[in-house]
């Protein structure tokens, strides 16, 4: 069932990931939640979570652990542990409530998912992340008596549905006391800030041309005629009315210069259509202003005249005064001619822009609900007689977490606790994999019994590490000698791989690529890892790319340098040329073609 729900969420996110929301149209706010309208489907809306919050398990409990340990033989041994998972999303119940309110305003409206967000990888810790823990206690890690002895947090934001970020810290006695006191207030000392951007659809140019011409012609006529013998009575009345109305409206919205959109073709079309419309509207012969034919009051020969004499009579007596042809008529004409011509044209050109976003959430209100009797806040007295077990947490160093997606498979921790006096040692083993890190699990713990020990005798233990590299059948062991062990006594151990990490910022003058006849450049990075030279990263930059700056993380053996080689690819297809392999002396590399 859980796998089905996760699969369903990923399918919904995959659909939403290709959606582009509108920037300046369709925005709504419902119960404090911002909704952005889909650029293609007007009834689909995407939501912004209001702020990062504590992650919630399926049973409704929070992903939070706060431990204060006291009673150690040395005051410096007292302190605390903090571990929390953070997510940036809304609960299904909250989404249903907002969708119900949305449908009151938009019939058939629906919440299609969260706004597709992207990390701002150019900011954040070491330039690779976009999440920051804001805390005066947790940030105090320097000096002789720091409030926080160590802190580890995820480098990346939990932007995908179901994703989470981890925060873990080991505190001094003073730091634990201050942090717990802040949890008792309305606002705690721990806030989580995330930043990034989303892509939005914005109109850069819009022209609307409307034209309308109407012609109304009304004819009213009345003819009364009564004649016979030598008498005739006739009455005529005629009214003709012609009304013509022409109007044209041109509206142009243009912010193409600020968005870098070429709209010269659009402007030319607007000018051409407007000129032709004006000619058509005011052409009185063939255009919209042409007048309809006038309706005559009487048709030719409609009323008869006098009777005519025969030819013989006209010859001897002339025409004379003849009788009228008997003709009695009453003719009434009331006709209306209406002609309406309309024209409408809407020219639009749009683009997508990157819109930055920033939000911060505070972890608060937990202590008032659960205090020290609940599942989240615990006090452990190391000197109590019933303290029968001790937990040691092994956690991946956050700055190397992303290495599990590129070069590492897993790390195995072999643990040993010796007691003496003929007591068999306790040995255990844990494995942390890349899959664990993807689900937000960056640490695992080992619990061993005290068996009557106290003080340093209880705290001391031994452990060994085995790192598995992708593509390698053999693991790298620390210590290298299988008979040796590492010594430990702390309640949390930060696991760092047996290699160093270097960050390289690659910047390119993309405009000079085309000017120098180059289509693209491929940068190959060489490192020595686990004693073996290898190609670790490839980065291709093209002349038509929109981004010219990239961050690359390289992993290499300690005391080993890194190198790079650039291959330039000609735009005319004549081939490519590679530079010599050069040593990478600093964390910045600028690419420009020869002569640039």
Whether the Cβ atoms of residue 556 and residue 471 lie closer than 8 Å to each other: no
What is the enclosing helix (H) or strand (E) of 101?
Answer: helix 92-105
Tokens 């390698």: give the residue. 472
**338 and 432 share a domain?**
no
- Is the pLDDT reported for residue 72 higher than 70? no
Report yes or no on whether pTM surpasses 0.75.
no
**372 and 518 share a domain?**
no
**242 and 367 share a domain?**
no
Smallest CA-to-CA distance from 138 within 192, 60, 197, 102 is with: 192
406's tokens = 């590129």
- CATH code for the domain of 561: 2.60.40
**373 and 330 share a domain?**
no
**411 and 437 share a domain?**
yes
Average pLDDT of 171-183? 86
What is the Cα–Cα distance from 59 to 146, expressed in whole angstroms? 37
H helix count then E strand count, the chain: 10, 32
Q: Domain range for residue 286?
A: 201-294+325-350
* Interval 508-522: pLDDT, tens: 998 888 888 899 999
What is the Cα–Cα distance from 157 to 382, expressed in whole angstroms? 36
**69 and 8 share a domain?**
yes
* Interval 84-131: pLDDT, tens: 888 888 888 889 999 999 999 999 999 998 888 887 655 433 334 478
What is the Cα–Cα distance from 153 to 84, expressed in whole angstroms? 10
Beta strand spans in 118-161 (E): 118-119, 131-134, 148-153
- Is the pLDDT reported for residue 432 higher than 80? yes
Whether the Cβ atoms of residue 486 and residue 463 lie closer than 8 Å to each other: yes
**330 and 220 share a domain?**
yes
96-105, 320-329, 385-394, 432-441: lowest mean pLDDT where?
A: 320-329
**93 and 29 share a domain?**
yes
pLDDT band at 262 (very low <50, low <70, confident <90, very high): low
**52 and 87 share a domain?**
yes
65 falls within a domain: yes
Average pLDDT of 441-467? 90
Residue 557: how many other CB atoms lie within 10 Å: 15
Residue 465 or residue 118, greater confidence: 465
132 falls within a domain: yes
What is the Cα–Cα distance from 401 to 497, expressed in whole angstroms? 10
β-pair type (148-153, 165-172): antiparallel
Residue 295 or residue 470, greater confidence: 470
What torsion do the CA atoms of 367, 83, 8, 104 make, to the nearest 10 degrees?
30
pLDDT band at 76 (very low <50, low <70, confident <90, very high): confident
What is the Cα–Cα distance from 562 to 526, expressed in whole angstroms? 6
HSE-CB of 181 using CA atoms within 13 angstroms:
7
Residue 383: how many other CB atoms lie within 10 Å: 11
Whether the Cβ atoms of residue 324 and residue 229 lie closer than 8 Å to each other: yes
**491 and 587 share a domain?**
no
489 falls within a domain: yes
pLDDT band at 58 (very low <50, low <70, confident <90, very high): confident
195 falls within a domain: no
**18 and 150 share a domain?**
yes
Total structural domains in the chain? 4
Residue 272: how many other CB atoms lie within 10 Å: 10
309 falls within a domain: no
**207 and 231 share a domain?**
yes
What is the enclosing helix (H) or strand (E) of 306?
Answer: none
312 falls within a domain: no
Residue 398 or residue 446, greater confidence: 446
Which of 483, 498, 513 finishes a domain? 498
pLDDT band at 411 (very low <50, low <70, confident <90, very high): very high
Query: Residue 471 — φ and ψ, nearest 5°?
Result: 85, 0
Whether the Cβ atoms of residue 169 and residue 144 lie closer than 8 Å to each other: no
Whether the Cβ atoms of residue 236 and residue 330 lie closer than 8 Å to each other: no
Whether the Cβ atoms of residue 153 and residue 166 lie closer than 8 Å to each other: yes
358 falls within a domain: no
304 falls within a domain: no
């Amino acid at each position: 069932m859980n796998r089905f729900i996760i699969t369903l969420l990923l399918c919904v996110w995959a659909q939403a990931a290709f959606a582009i929301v509108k920037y300046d149209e369709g925005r709504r706010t419902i119960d404090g939640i911002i909704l952005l309208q889909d650029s293609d489907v007007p009834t689909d809306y995407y939501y912004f979570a209001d702020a990062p919050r504590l992650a919630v398990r399926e049973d409704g409990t929070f992903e939070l652990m706060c431990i204060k340990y006291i009673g150690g033989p040395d005051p410096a041994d007292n302190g605390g542990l903090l571990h929390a998972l953070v997510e940036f999303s809304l609960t299904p119940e909250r989404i249903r409530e907002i969708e119900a309110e949305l449908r009151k305003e938009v019939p058939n409206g629906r919440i299609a998912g969260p706004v597709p967000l992207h990390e701002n990888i150019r900011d954040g810790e070491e330039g690779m992340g976009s999440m920051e823990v804001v805390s005066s206690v947790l940030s105090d890690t320097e000096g002789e008596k720091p409030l926080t002895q160590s802190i580890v947090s995820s480098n990346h934001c939990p932007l995908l549905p179901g994703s989470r970020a981890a925060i873990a810290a080991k505190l001094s006695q003073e730091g634990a006391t201050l942090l717990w006191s802040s949890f008792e207030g309305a606002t705690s000392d721990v806030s989580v800030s995330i930043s990034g951007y989303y892509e939005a659809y914005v109109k850069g140019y819009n022209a609307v041309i409307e034209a309308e011409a109407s012609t109304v012609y009304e004819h009213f006529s009345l003819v009364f005629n009564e004649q016979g013998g030598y008498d005739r009575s006739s009455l005529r009345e005629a009214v003709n009315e012609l009304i013509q109305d022409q109007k044209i409206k041109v509206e142009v919205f243009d912010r193409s210069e600020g968005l870098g959109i070429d709209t010269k073709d659009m402007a030319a079309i607007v000018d051409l259509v407007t000129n032709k419309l004006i000619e058509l509207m005011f052409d009185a012969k063939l255009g919209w202003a042409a007048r309809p034919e006038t309706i005559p009051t009487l048709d030719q020969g409609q009323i008869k005249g006098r009777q005519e004499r025969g030819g013989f009579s006209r010859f001897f007596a002339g025409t004379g005064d003849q009788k009228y042809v008997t003709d009695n008529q009453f003719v009434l004409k009331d006709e209306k001619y209406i002609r309406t011509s309309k024209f409408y044209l809407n020219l639009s050109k749009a683009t997508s822009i990157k819109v930055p976003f920033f939000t911060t959430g505070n972890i608060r209100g937990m202590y008032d609900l659960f205090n020290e009797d609940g599942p989240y806040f615990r006090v452990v007295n190391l000197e109590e007689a019933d303290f029968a077990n001790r937990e040691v947490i092994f956690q991946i160093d956050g700055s190397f977490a992303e290495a599990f997606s590129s070069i590492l498979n897993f790390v195995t921790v072999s643990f040993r606790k010796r007691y003496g006096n003929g007591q068999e040692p306790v040995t255990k083993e844990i494995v942390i994999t890349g899959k664990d890190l993807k689900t937000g699990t960056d640490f695992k713990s080992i619990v061993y019994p005290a068996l009557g020990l106290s003080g340093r005798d209880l705290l001391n233990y031994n452990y060994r590490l085995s790192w598995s590299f992708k593509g390698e059948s053999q693991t790298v062991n620390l210590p290298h000698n299988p008979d040796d062990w590492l010594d430990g006594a702390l309640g949390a151990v930060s696991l760092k791989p047996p290699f160093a990490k270097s960050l390289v910022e690659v910047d390119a003058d993309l405009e000079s690529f085309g000017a120098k006849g180059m289509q693209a450049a491929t940068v190959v990075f060489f490192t020595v890892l686990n004693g073996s030279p290898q190609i670790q990263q490839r980065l291709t930059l093209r002349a038509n790319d929109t981004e010219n700056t990239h961050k690359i993380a390289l992993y290499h053996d300690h005391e080993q340098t890194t190198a790079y080689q650039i291959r330039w690819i000609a735009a005319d297809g004549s081939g490519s040329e590679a530079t010599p392999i050069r040593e990478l002396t600093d964390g910045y590399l600028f690419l420009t073609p020869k002569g640039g």
